[in-house]
Amino acid sequence: MGQNLILNAADHGFTVCAYNRTTSKVDRFLENEAKGKSIVGAHSVEEFCKKLKRPRRVMLLVMAGKPVDDFIESLLPHLEEGDIIIDGGNSHFPDSNRRTRYLKEKGISFVGSGVSGGEEGARYGPSLMPGGNEAAWPHIKDIFQSIAAKSDGEACCDWVGDEGAGHYVKMVHNGIEYGDMQLICEAYDILKNGLQLPAKEIADIFAKWNKGVLDSFLIEITRDILYFNDEDGTPMVDKILDQAGQKGTGKWTAINALDLGMPVTLIGESVFARCLSALKGERVRASSLLKGPETKFEGNKEQFIDDLEQALYASKIISYAQGFMLIQNAAKEYGWKLNKPAIALMWRGGCIIRSVFLKDITNAYRQNPDLENLLFNDFFNNAIQKAQKGWRNVVSQGAFLGIPTPAFSTALSFYDGYRTANLPANLLQAQRDYFGAHTFRIKPEFANETHPEGKDIHVNWTGRGGNVSASTYIA
Centroid of chain to Cα 193: 28
Confirm whether residue 102 is marked as ligand binding.
no
Confirm whether residue 118 is marked as ligand binding.
yes
Report d(CA 335, CA 337) in Å as an integer: 7
Confirm whether residue 117 is marked as ligand binding.
yes
Q: Which candidate in 170, 192, 316, 340 is catalytic?
A: 170
Vertex 192: Cα angle to 187 and 197 (nearest 5): 120
Query: Between helices 301-334 and 265-277, what is the axis angle to 10°?
Result: 110
Confirm whether residue 90 is marked as ligand binding.
yes
Confirm whether residue 174 is marked as ligand binding.
yes
Confirm whether residue 438 is marked as ligand binding.
yes
Q: Which phi and psi (to 5°) does residue 206 adopt? A: -65, -35
Confirm whether residue 229 is marked as ligand binding.
no
Q: Which candidate in 37, 50, 120, 177 is catalytic?
A: 177
Confirm whether residue 178 is marked as ligand binding.
yes
Amino acid identity at 142: D
Amino acid identity at 444: P
Compute the residue count for the chain: 475
Query: Is 177 assigned a catalytic role?
Result: yes
Confirm whether residue 13 is marked as ligand binding.
no
Confirm whether residue 116 is marked as ligand binding.
yes
Query: Is 449 assigned a catalytic role?
Result: no
Closest CA to 182 of 238, 256, 265: 265
Amino acid identity at 418: Y
Closest CA to 86 of 104, 63, 109: 109
Annotated binding site: 90, 116-118, 173-174, 178, 247, 274, 432, 438
List the catalytic residues: 170, 177
Annotated binding site for substrate: 90, 116-118, 173-174, 178, 247, 274, 432, 438
